[in-house]
Structure 1
Amino acid sequence: MNETAPRRTPADAPTPEKERSLAPDLARGTALLGIALANSVYYVNAPEYGARSRPLDGSWPDRAADLLLVTLVDARWLPLFALLFGYGAVQLMRRQLASGHDLRAVRRLQRRRFGWLTAFGLAHLLLLFGGDILAIYGILGFGLLLTLRAPDRSLLAWAGAALAAAVPPAALVGMPPFGTDVRSSVPSLLTGDPWEALVLRAAAWPLDVVLLALSAFAPMLLGVWAARRRVLDDPARHRRLLRRTALVGLPAGVAGGLPLGLIAAGLWNAGVAATYLASALHVLTGFAAALGAGAAFGLAAAGRAGRGGPVARAMVATGRRSLSCYLAQSVVFVALFAPYAGGLGDDLGTAAMAAAAALTWLATVLAAAMAARAGRRGPAEALLRRLAYGRRTA
């Protein structure tokens, strides 16, 4: 027996840290900041709301924050997360097949993971936050299974069709709330009764699925396409593609987000039709921004920027515990800002709330870095793994 031969990791054990791809984790950890900033506005309690649920008649710091966040953050980081979700599904399938499992066994495992992820999301929805994405991702994962072995041409065609179908309904998310009695796109965060808030979250969720599912499925399919080529697993080999994608996607995301940013900040008094067109452009270029950001993280990983410093290592640690960190954001936000809990959302504008969101994200980064140094997984990741595999794993 050759004692120097590398030991193959069991298929049901977590992927060793040294074998994980750097770029996806680096992207996830940083993107959680964008998600925290995007979600923070929903906790601001104001008399009236405009585009992208931004409070009207805010202070100049609030308007500046609205301009920056709508232009650079909203509808930009969630598509990146969806892309990474599709990428990760292929990574899991590849690793399981390489460990000797047949395709049917791999599909059963993925169905269990997607099923439990949906359950996690529904619990998150009912207990904490009506804008949950986990349940939507879990449900879309079952559809994603049908595409993992599809030809590339079909995969890209489906992605294009999903994108074309996604923009019109997703653009409605950017519109000011409709109706005289509706002040926010997340009414569950305007009530002081926690049970009423739970009912409102559950009642609004089907509409969220309709508005957001297709806009998440399109980047998921692109993530599958990219994973087949190991674009983020071996970014140095794909440096030219990544550079072009970043140079096109990031400026397009900024330019396409600016019109709606001006409307949300109250700097452009646009009509309903112009606002809808600006919102549609905002959604469409959000996909370009997500691709550009993903490419930028790939370039950073190709340059080994992520392995050298403590900041990058902390980002990677956060990305490897992204499920736990995402849920922790909601726990903090609800405890501090929901009307039926801390109630601090009544006293903060969008600028101060964005600062609080950044501090919350920073706290999760520090916690993830400490967990990484101690060799501990995120609690949500550990629970999901145990439930999906049916037994305690290494």
Structure 2
Amino acid sequence: MPTVPSGSVRAPSPARARALAPDLARGFMLLLIALAHAPVFISHADLGPAALNTFGRFLKVFAADNLARSMFVFLFGYGLGQLAAGRFAKGDDWLAVRKLLRRRGFWLLVIGFLHATLLVPLDIVSTYGLALLIMAPIMRARDSVLLWTSAISLVPMTGLLAWQTVRAHAAEVAGHPETLPSMMKDDFPSQVLLHLLVWAGKAPGVVLLVVPGITIGIWAARRRILDDPERHVALLRRVTFVFLALAVAGRLPMALISAGVWKTDATWLPAIAHTFTGHTGGIALAAAVALAAVRIGGAHGPVTTALAALGRRSLTFYLFQSVVFVALFYPFTLDLADDVGTAAVIAIGVAVWLVSIVLADRMRRIGHRGPFEIALRRLSR
């Protein structure tokens, strides 16, 4: 068995400085996740100014739904490629790397399970863990296998998410939106039990949703596209322009329908376009951030530095968002679910992201990596 698989990434020098683009992308990604998640915690979307609520619904569907997840998954796959390259650079063979990946997958599954049961059932971390346990061998697959796996799995993923979008829209039109307040219990133990049942029912099936992004992320990491964006400017420009154009065109109809601007019962085609171009849009945003990193170069201002610090601690602050939302909206905490409309809750989501930037930069200043990043690294050794 070769020390380094033939399809693995070009190993970086251990002394090389940490790349800016992946961290910036992860920091920005957390804003999209906040926009996607915050509105599901409220009962009455129409509270407050109608025009602002309409814009808020449009913004959520256009800029976040089925796009934040795609960007997150792509960056996760990219991070796996970085992790494997770093271990090979230190002299580890494939057997050691595979064991490391599976240990990390197991502990991601545990962390995600605790997140989904103790906090909110909007978890992707356990899905990553389960996918990594299953897919670890694909890290040494040929490029063609990665690309075909991504393309083939994209078809059922698009169909499943489109079906969820159509169902959610129909429920909202019928006056029964699929939001978390309908699942909220008056006490914490009952809430945990319900979350446990929800997680057990959906966790195995959602692995399919992350396969396309993980595999294309691993492929991109092999070429160090985000690590060395200055070497791939032409490719990044093409991806940004073409994929963002697709995302705008494909996501606009469903966003207009969800905002109530366009009235139609024929939602399947817009939902399919919305889902598929959410995948391309997530990749395009990562490419756009990489181009921004090229332009920034080595002159990192305070905003860039703080946003990159947030990206380095993305697991911690992904979980931090859930802690804040539970504290604000659940009946056994501040119980604000009935008191906030769409526009206000999106403003809250943005505020949580801004606070996260400040806290992450503070951690950077004192040399703290992030509690969950530290825990995952130690547990995965």
Give the alignment's TM-score, normalised by structure 1: 0.87
Q: Which amino acid aligns with 2:27?
A: G
* Structure-2 separation of matches of 1:181 and 1:262: 18
Q: Which amino acid aligns with 1:197?
A: Q
Structure 2 matches for 1:331-346, cutoff 5 A? Answer: 331-346=323-338
Structure 2 matches for 1:147-186, cutoff 5 A? Answer: 147-177=138-168, 183-186=177-180
Q: Closer, same or farther in 2 for the Cα pair 1:337/1:170, shift >3 Å?
A: same
CA contact (8 A) 1:72 1:253 kept: no
Shift of residue 112 of structure 1?
A: 0.7
Out of 123, 129, 140, which is 2:114 matched to?
123
Task: Name the counterpart of 2:33.
Answer: 35
* Structure-2 separation of matches of 1:206 and 1:275: 29
Q: Which amino acid aligns with 1:270?
A: T
Q: Is 1:252 aligned with 2:243?
A: no
Residue deviations 1:107-146 (CA, integer Å, cap 9, x gap): 1111111110110000000100111110001111123312
Residue deviations 1:301-343 (CA, integer Å, cap 9, x gap): 1223574211111110000001111111110110011233211
Out of 363, 366, 372, which is 2:364 matched to?
372
Out of 218, 221, 236, which is 2:230 matched to?
236
CA contact (8 A) 1:25 1:317 kept: yes
Structure 2 matches for 1:301-320, cutoff 5 A? Answer: 301-304=293-296, 307-320=299-312
Out of 43, 46, 51, which is 1:45 matched to?
43
Structure 2 matches for 1:60-75, cutoff 5 A? Answer: 60-75=51-66
CA contact (8 A) 2:41 2:181 kept: no
Give the fraction of aligned pairs with identical amino acids, expressed as a percent.
Answer: 40
* Structure-2 separation of matches of 1:261 and 1:58: 19
Shift of residue 74 of structure 1?
A: 1.2
* Structure-2 separation of matches of 1:296 and 1:210: 33
Unpaired runs of at least 5, structure 2: 1-12
CA contact (8 A) 1:121 1:135 kept: yes
Task: Name the counterpart of 2:94.
Answer: 103
Task: Name the counterpart of 2:276.
Answer: 284
Shift of residue 97 of structure 1?
A: 1.2
* Structure-2 separation of matches of 1:211 and 1:90: 24
Q: Which runs of 4+ in 1 moved over 3 A?
A: 15-18, 54-58, 176-183, 185-191, 206-212
Q: Which amino acid aligns with 1:261?
A: A
Task: Name the counterpart of 1:392.
Answer: none
CA contact (8 A) 1:188 1:201 kept: no
Query: Alignment partner of 1:345: what SS?
Result: coil
Shift of residue 362 of structure 1?
A: 0.8
Q: Which amino acid aligns with 1:27?
A: A
* Structure-2 separation of matches of 1:361 and 1:128: 18
Q: Which amino acid aligns with 1:89?
A: L
Shift of residue 364 of structure 1?
A: 0.9
Residue deviations 1:144-175 (CA, integer Å, cap 9, x gap): 31211111111111100110111111112223
Task: Name the counterpart of 2:19.
Answer: 21
**Alignment RMSD, CA only?**
2.3
Q: Closer, same or farther in 2 for the Cα pair 1:90/1:247, shift >3 Å?
A: same
Q: Which amino acid aligns with 1:205?
A: W
CA contact (8 A) 1:87 1:226 kept: yes
CA contact (8 A) 2:328 2:334 kept: yes
* Structure-2 separation of matches of 1:340 and 1:233: 44
Q: Which amino acid aligns with 1:22?
A: L
- The range that moved more, 185-194 or 228-237, is 185-194
* Structure-2 separation of matches of 1:119 and 1:17: 32
Shift of residue 356 of structure 1?
A: 0.5
- The range that moved more, 205-214 or 252-261, is 205-214
Q: Which amino acid aligns with 2:263?
A: N
Task: Name the counterpart of 1:262.
Answer: 256
- The range that moved more, 281-290 or 171-180, is 171-180
Q: Which amino acid aligns with 1:353?
A: V
- The range that moved more, 144-153 or 198-207, is 198-207
Q: Is 1:140 aligned with 2:131?
A: yes
Task: Name the counterpart of 2:10.
Answer: none
Out of 71, 88, 91, which is 2:82 matched to?
91
Out of 368, 373, 380, which is 1:381 matched to?
373
Q: Is 1:199 aligned with 2:197?
A: no
